[in-house]
Amino acid sequence: MRRNLDSGFTLIELLIVVAIIGIIAAIAVPGLLRARMSGNEASALASLRVINSAQTTYQSSCGNGYYASTLIILGDAPPGSQPFVSPDLSGAASIDKSGYRLDMVEGSEATAAPANGCNATGVAAALFTSYVATNNPLSLNTTGTRFFYTNSLGTVYEAPTNVFAGATAGNANPGAGIPIQ
């Protein structure tokens, strides 16, 4: 007795299913990439807000009225206390986080402090009257499309381009940007 094994899918039916899945994926992928970029940009903004808060605290409690010029200084805890920023924002002079690069230097009009701060890395030569912090996408149009910066005024700005392009410490003047509410 022989059975008929005609159950199953034909090659045409399988190709149609694969084509439908491909079309759905082509529609969904750009939306997922935009969502990832939005998440990266939100993280970049949050990092700059943390820097503003940490700088205000450092200036009033540890820096004798002066701001830290590097992220490393903000990550160095005063004796018997906690650091001003978490280790993910203070591990190096330049931090790559969520598709953005965070940098911080003293402002272009800054003057150096006459005395040391309360933590080991807060020496007078590294403390200034102003600072500029930027957060720029590592790969434009892939990890983010907007450039952000903040300064000792405490406002976070969106800039049209990288405000540190060609800048060096003491020569970072970001220019105009759009304040972000």
Q: Cα 128–156–179 angle (5° rounding)? A: 125
Give the mean model confidence (pLDDT) for residues 84-97: 93
Residue identified by tokens 């503003």 is 52
- Answer yes or no: is 6 within a domain: no
Look up the CATH number of the domain holding residue 51.
3.30.700
- Answer yes or no: is 167 within a domain: yes
For 55, counting Cβ atoms within 10 Å of its Cβ (0-12 exposed, 13-18 middle, 19+ buried), the class is buried
Q: Residue 15: what pLDDT?
A: 96
Instruction: Name the band, by pLDDT with cuts 50, 70 and 90, for residue 77.
Output: very high
99 within 8 A of 40, measured Cβ to Cβ = yes
Q: Residue 6: what pLDDT?
A: 67
CA distance linking residue 150 with residue 133, whole number of Å: 5
Q: Residue 171: what pLDDT?
A: 47
- Answer yes or no: is 111 within a domain: yes
Give the mean model confidence (pLDDT) for residues 152-176: 68
- Answer yes or no: is 42 within a domain: yes
Q: Which amino acid is at 154?
A: G
- Answer yes or no: is 45 within a domain: yes
Domain count of the chain? Answer: 1
Least confident of 61-65, 101-105, 139-143, 163-167: 163-167
Residue span of the structural domain in which 137 resides: 11-179
Q: Residue 169: what pLDDT?
A: 45
Q: Residue 110: what pLDDT?
A: 83
Q: Residue 162: what pLDDT?
A: 74
pLDDT higher than 80, residue 93: yes
Query: Residue 35: phi, psi to the nearest 5?
Result: -65, -40
Give the mean model confidence (pLDDT) for residues 94-103: 94
pLDDT higher than 80, residue 85: yes
Q: What spatial distance separates the first Cα and last Cα of the chain, rounded to whole Å?
A: 79
Percent of the residues in the chain that have a pLDDT greater than 70, as a whole number? 88
The whole-model pTM stands at 0.82
- Answer yes or no: is 147 within a domain: yes
- Answer yes or no: is 3 within a domain: no
